[in-house]
Amino acid sequence: MIIDELYQKVAKNGHVCLGLDTDIDYIPSYFLNKYNNIEDAIFNFNKKIIDETLDAVACYKVQIAYYEAYGIKGLNAYKKTLEYIKSQKAISIADIKRGDIAKTAEMYAKAHFEGDFESDFVTLNPYMGFDSVEPYTPYIRDKEKGVFILLRTSNPGSKDIQYISTVDNDRVYNVVGKKINDIGKEYLGECEYSSIGAVVGCTTGFEGKEIRDKYKSTFFLIPGYGAQGGTAEEVANYLSNGNGGIVNSSRGILLAYKKVEDGEHKFEQCARNAAIIMRDDIRSYSKNK
């Protein structure tokens, strides 16, 4: 199952999920000027980053909004990026956060698990109900695909809905987490984690141990590290035996070159160095978890 592949990548390469949230403004001017169009500039920037980090990260998360913003040329760069990740035998997460139902959800599943935009995992928003997840399950069962469902996010507004108390004096996010964990048990890999995972922000690290203990078979996609204030020590609370989660970083790695003198001419090496520093930081806290 795809979750076993991801588990093994984490064991070998560390926990870093490199976010290819590639804004045109992130690309050094000298590199941008080499290309005649946005499509080639974005894709080749991504390709350089991927080539330098294959052995230092567990997977790549491609946020579709950054590509949609540039229209057809941007989506062509998105397509080519996903294809290149696959060609390198790396794992891709399409960060699409879809959350619709019925036939519409079937079409989203088809769009992102087949054809031009095929990825290994997608992110989903369950707040319309868990019938919005069901159309993806045939791909999980039969096509070696996986999903990460929003459980508790890292943004300040998460408290607007996710922290509301239920009639049982619990939190909404725990109701969601229990459902994710329960349906995920049908799709367990040999690693004892499910291909139905959850997005759990690490910016409120004090809750990490509780969440990890409650959802033992749920693999986590963990945003919030670095720029949003999350630390490796907090991240470690969401892991188990040094595994069970991947930790996203986008700008912190893509823009690492801006912290180095003349870094723009070696942006890919700067990205590699940042990924390794992040990997080692998390490993130092997670090895005993």
User: pLDDT (tens digit, 9 = 90+) per residue, 121-168?
Assistant: 999 999 899 999 999 999 999 999 999 999 987 777 767 666 677 777
Query: Annotated catalytic sites, by residue?
Result: 97
Side-chain-side CA neighbours of 239 within 13 Å: the count stands at 26
Q: Looking at residue 152, what is its pLDDT?
A: 84
Is 201's pLDDT higher than 80? yes
Cα dihedral value 236, 238, 241, 244, nearest 10: -120
Contact 150, 123 (CB under 8 A): yes
Structural domain for 244, as ranges: 2-286
Q: Looking at residue 28, what is its pLDDT?
A: 96
Task: Supply the angle between the helices 267-286 and 38-53 in degrees, to the nearest 10.
Answer: 40
Q: How confident is the model at residue 174 (pLDDT cuts 50, 70, 90)?
A: confident
Q: Looking at residue 162, what is its pLDDT?
A: 67
Question: What tens digit of pLDDT does each residue of 248-272 get?
Answer: 999 999 999 999 988 899 999 999 9
Is 188's pLDDT higher than 90? yes
Contact residues for 11 (Cβ-Cβ < 8 A; gap 6+) = 242, 243
Q: What is the distance between the alpha carbons of residues 152 and 237, in angstroms, rounded to a whole number?
A: 15
Two tokens, residue 150: 């929003």
User: For the chain, how many structural domains are there in total?
Assistant: 1
Q: Looking at residue 224, what is its pLDDT?
A: 84
Question: What tens digit of pLDDT does each residue of 75-126 get?
Answer: 999 999 999 999 999 999 999 999 999 999 999 999 999 999 999 999 999 9
Average pLDDT over residues 10-27: 97
Between residues 228 and 13, which one has the greater pLDDT?
Answer: 13
Q: What share of the chain is helix, strand, coil (3-state, %, to 5)?
A: 50, 15, 30
Q: For residue 257, give the CATH number of its domain.
A: 3.20.20.70
Contact 120, 146 (CB under 8 A): yes
Q: What is the distance between the alpha carbons of residues 196 and 148, in angstroms, rounded to a whole number?
A: 6
Return mean pLDDT, the chain. Answer: 93
User: What DSSP letter does each residue of 239-272 carry, written as one string?
Assistant: -BTTBSEEEEESHHHHTGGGGSTTGGGGHHHHHH
User: Which residues are 150's β-sheet partners?
Assistant: 199
Q: What is the distance between the alpha carbons of residues 247 and 285, in angstroms, rounded to a whole number?
A: 13
Q: Looking at residue 134, what is its pLDDT?
A: 96
